[in-house]
Structure 1
């Protein structure tokens, strides 16, 4: 454990059924060292629990999306964005694309597989003009070669690419699709209807 006057986040997880996922998260975080990923410091076990010491980020994108109308002075979600809100939205998305570019440029490439607002963290400080970081790598996997594709459905259903949701082959592009759905749920109903054989045309 790192002991100093800084504030850290400590994730406490009971082994049991999540053992493989938790160990995978530790392995992924320990290999990634970038401003685009929440920084990993240490991990240890106590009894049946694993503790992961990480960089502390006070907010997530989910927090921002929940309060954005009030924060930007809009009376309802139906009102048009203000210029400042539009600028901030573009900046957030630009940084998210940089985060993905970092993961997908690793050797081997890393597919996050669980991109959603609660796993997109906002740093307390701006470093190299960035303040967005990716967290929760428990479902991340390595993509070793262009011909290597995956079929295991993994992630949060509301943010899965259709090919992941339907257990078809997929690659790094599934992350790009997830990133395009900051509000997720409106499209999941179409995937469920498609998976059940229903027509998506109305």
Structure 2
């Protein structure tokens, strides 16, 4: 594994706390800086001399995207170094992701998973959806537009220190690509991303930025919202209120 090939710089400056998981081409670790004590996430990616130019460019694309997309909508990139055929990507560390929120919020709000949400949980779910759409809009409004292509809930990080009243950040841009907006549906690599959240057209290799919207539509936070059928004080249905919030 890549963890068996750690560089001298890494060993001298960081203490590994835990293995977070796999992302894109490599493995991600929760680490602590040995001197300042700050915690980070470090992604280790094999970068072998035997890789051809295309393979190397595919690996470097994630870093290029992180540098280009510096904002409150994307995980903060800190540093990059190459040593002993390993590429290291240092980023800010976040303790939670959206998958853990989805798995546990029914417990926090004291309901069974099959039960509809009450008003406070419904409101928070609307806020989560609103932030998700803002993150996607930021990617798609970039020049050129960026298609993430792997927007599963575990790739949405939760920041506990809010900037501009925002808490969600996208991560893992190893599958992301640029899109030419002058072409409605241009040719991209097929079968990219996690199958559970993949739009059907991704299998056919001709698709647009809309595939990211499709992925968000499959998030489990959306399904209980649809089941929540009570009306608001203004007489609007829950679905109508949600649509109004998104449009505003």
1:4 deviates by 4.0
Does residue 121 of structure 1 match 2:154?
no
User: TM-score under structure 1 normalisation?
Assistant: 0.83
CA separation of 1:123 and 1:21: change in aligned 2, threshold 3 A: farther
2:138 maps to which residue? Answer: 102
Match of 2:168 in 1: 132
- Corresponding residue SS for 1:182: coil
SS at match of 1:12: strand
Residues 107, 144 of structure 1: 8 Å contact kept:
no
TM-superposed CA distance for 1:168, in Å, is 4.4
Distance in 2 between the 1:49 and 1:63 partners? 30
Q: Does 1:161 align with 2:218?
A: no
Structure 1: tracts of 5 or more residues without a match? 187-202
Q: Secondary structure at the match of 2:41?
A: strand
Deviation at 1:13, TM superposition (A): 2.3
Would you say the 8 A contact 2:146–2:179 is kept in 1? yes
Partner of 2:45: 13
Distance in 2, matches of 1:85 and 1:56, equals 26
Q: Secondary structure at the match of 2:132?
A: helix
- How many aligned residue pairs are there? 183
Compare the two structures and name the one with the higher strand fraction: 2
Match of 1:29 among 44, 66, 74: 66
Looking at structure 1, the residues matched to 163 and 122 of structure 2 have their Cα atoms a distance apart, in angstroms, of 22
Output aligned runs, 1:1-202, within 5 Å: 4-15=36-47, 19-74=56-111, 76-147=112-183, 149-153=186-190, 154-165=192-203, 167-183=204-220
CA distance in 2, matches of 1:160, 1:49: 29
Higher relative contact order (CA 8 A, sep 6+): 1
CA drift of 1:43 comes to 0.8
Q: Work out the CA distance in 1 between the residues paired with 2:198 and 2:94.
A: 25
Where 1:9 maps in the other structure, the secondary structure is strand
1:22 deviates by 3.0
Provide the C-alpha distance between the structure 2 equivalents of 1:22 and 1:81, rounded to a whole number of angstroms.
Answer: 42
Higher Cα Rg, which structure: 2
CA RMSD of aligned residues (A): 2.3
